[in-house]
Amino acid sequence: MRKHVWIVLVLAFALIAAACGGDDLEGTSVTVFGPESSEEEAGALQDALDILAERTGIDIVYTGARDFSDQINAQAIGGNPPDIAVFPQPGKVADFARQGLVIALPEDVADAATDNWPAAWNAFGIVDGTQYAIPTKTDLKSLVWYVPGSFEAKGYEVPETWDALKALSNEMIANGDTPWCVGIESGPATGWTFTDWVEDLMLRFHGADVYDQWVDHTIPFTDSRVEQAWNEVLDLWNTDGAVFAAGGTIAATPFGDNGQPLVDGKCLMHRQASFYSAFLPENTVTGPDGVDVFYFPAVDPANAPVLGAGTLVASFRDAPEVWEVMEYFSTAEYAEERQKAQAARKGGGDVLSGFLSAANGLDTSVYTPLEQSLVSILSGADVVRFDASDLMPAAVGGGSFWTEATSAVNGDKSVADALAAIDASWP
């Protein structure tokens, strides 16, 4: 009989504990970890989360780290991951999902994601038919930043084709102007800027199908088409007088240090994604009267693909408060709140916030006219491809592709050697 008493006691205790937990989220806490670490981005992300926190009583804390990709590996494999991670790489989400580290979305959250985002973007969070991650932010990569005023003063025209762009670059050099600002340094991720150029050109020269084959290694990295894209970029950069590198060499210049020289007129163009506005000097006016963007020209203007990127959130803990936050991440409300907060932190007015979202039902009035046009490109483009290095396995997309690119850019290795090394490292 004594045994019986024990069991009853334990059950009673458990019932009390369960009652205390319940479904009330008041007092629970959720940690979010991501790569966005600048004051504006991280601050705005937290501001947007605070709105949910106030409504539900969940204590939500966002932490950002510049070396997110290394740290999330250590944390996840080491067994102390955050509750939610903001992944800039769908490839990483897929790796983690197959290793059973991130948790598949429960049905109701997956349904919310389907309602809140276009299918093309949701697809990046789906691994082997199951949705693990929700898009929260979208970047448009195929952009060139420039100052329309300088173009007008010197009589330069925005190019419509890749050949025109090269011609413009050469014309600028001939006139004694420096066409490009380039820097590929980015801590452990040094080299990604170069890979973006290559991806944009792969998509332009060889089309989406070859691009997909390249991403899943159906064609080797040493393929002549890949080599051609690399050489295209390096030839442009290595032309005498083509590049202003604020750090002395391209490889030693932090990618974020190109905003100031562009505004100062040290160079006339800078190819970088839409989020780059977060790196422009404070209170830079954007639009026709300040710093503007043009579409990174296609080889054939009739076939204009879009290279995109973005972040997805995936969860490491199965708890109602976590799913509540996940669901919030997918909503247009989150995007609007974050946009408002980020724009305010950047100085408001015509300043670009650096945040874009293609969420359904988004009230586009929170964006400046320039941003609205970017959003419409994002949600309307026929051919959208995600940043290839973010889709490749970590050993390549977060490793050899970057390091070997850095060697090639710095002239330490030939393109052929670098490509062979990357191909050899493919797992």
Partner 1 sequence: MEKILEMVIGTLIAVGLSAVIFIGANLLFDLAPTRWEIFGAVAGGGLVLIFFFWLFGNRAITALEVGGGRNPTKIPWQAIVAAIVGGAVGFFLARLTDRNQRLMVGVGGGAVLGLILGLTLVEEARPRLDVGPTITGLVAGLVIGGAIMFLRKGTIRSLVLGGTLGFALGAWGGPGDGGTAAQAVIVSLIVGAGLGVYAGMAKVYTHKDRTMLSERARAIIFVAPALIFIGITLVIPTVRTIYLSLFNLAFFSQTAEREPYSTWTGIFGEPFFIAAVVLVLIGVGYGFYQGSRNGGGYKGNGISLGTYLGGATLFIFSLFIFTDTAEFVGGENYGNLFTDPNTINLSNWTDIFTSQLFQIGVVIALIGVLVGFVAGANRGQRFQSGGASTGSIAVGSFIGVFSLGTVLRGTIMNNLWWVFTVTILATVFGLAIAVLADRSAMESLAKSIIFMPMAISFVGAAIIWRFMYIARPEGEVQTGVFNAIWVWLGDVSGSGGSSAIAAGIMLVVVAMLGYLAYRGFSHNVPGVAWGSVITAIPFLWLAWRFIGPGLGADVEADTVKFLTESPFNNVWMMVVLIWIQTGFTMVIFSAAIKAVPAELIEAAKVDGATENQTFWSVVIPQIAPTIGVVVTTLIVLVMKVFDIPKVMTNGNFDTEVIANEMWQRAFTELDFGLGSALAVILFVSVLPIMYINIRRMQKAAA
Instruction: Give the footprint of partner 1 on this chain (CB under 8 A).
Output: 3, 6-7, 10-11, 14-15, 17-19, 21-23, 69-70, 73-74, 77, 94-95, 98-100, 106, 187-188, 190-191, 244-249, 251-252, 318-320, 323, 393-395, 398-400, 403, 406-407, 410, 412, 421, 425, 427
Q: Which is nearer to partner 1, 155 or 248 (CB)?
A: 248
**187, 192, 181, 197: which is closest to 250 by C-alpha?**
181
- CA geometry: angle 333, 335, 340, nearest 5 deg: 95
| Three-class DSSP category at 93 | helix
CA torsion angle for 407, 224, 143, 134 (degrees, to 10)?
A: -90
Smallest distance, partner 1 to C-beta of residue 399, A: 4
What span, in angstroms and rounded, lies between the C-alpha atoms of 129 and 117? Answer: 17
C-beta closer to partner 1: residue 36 or 95: 95
Q: Render 297-328 in DSSP notation, one character per residue.
A: -BSSTTS--EEEEEEEEEESS--HHHHHHHHH
Q: What dihedral angle (degrees, nearest 10) is formed by the CA atoms of 286, 66, 57, 104?
A: 110
Closer CB to partner 1, residue 66 or residue 225?
66
Nearer to partner 1 among residue 230 and residue 401 (C-beta): 401
Cβ atoms of residues 195 and 401 within 8 Å:
yes
Tell me how far, at minimum, the Cβ of 306 lies from partner 1, in Å: 28
Please state, in angstroms and rounded to a whole number, the distance separating the CA atoms of residues 343 and 365. Answer: 12
- Whole-angstrom CA distances from 425 to 328, 392, 416 are 39, 12, 14
Nearer CB in complex with partner 1: 342/389: 389
Measured distance CA(390)–CA(402) in Å, rounded:
11
In the complex with partner 1, the residue whose CB is nearer, 207 or 254, is: 254
- Cβ atoms of residues 234 and 408 within 8 Å: yes
CB of 73 or CB of 114, closer to partner 1: 73
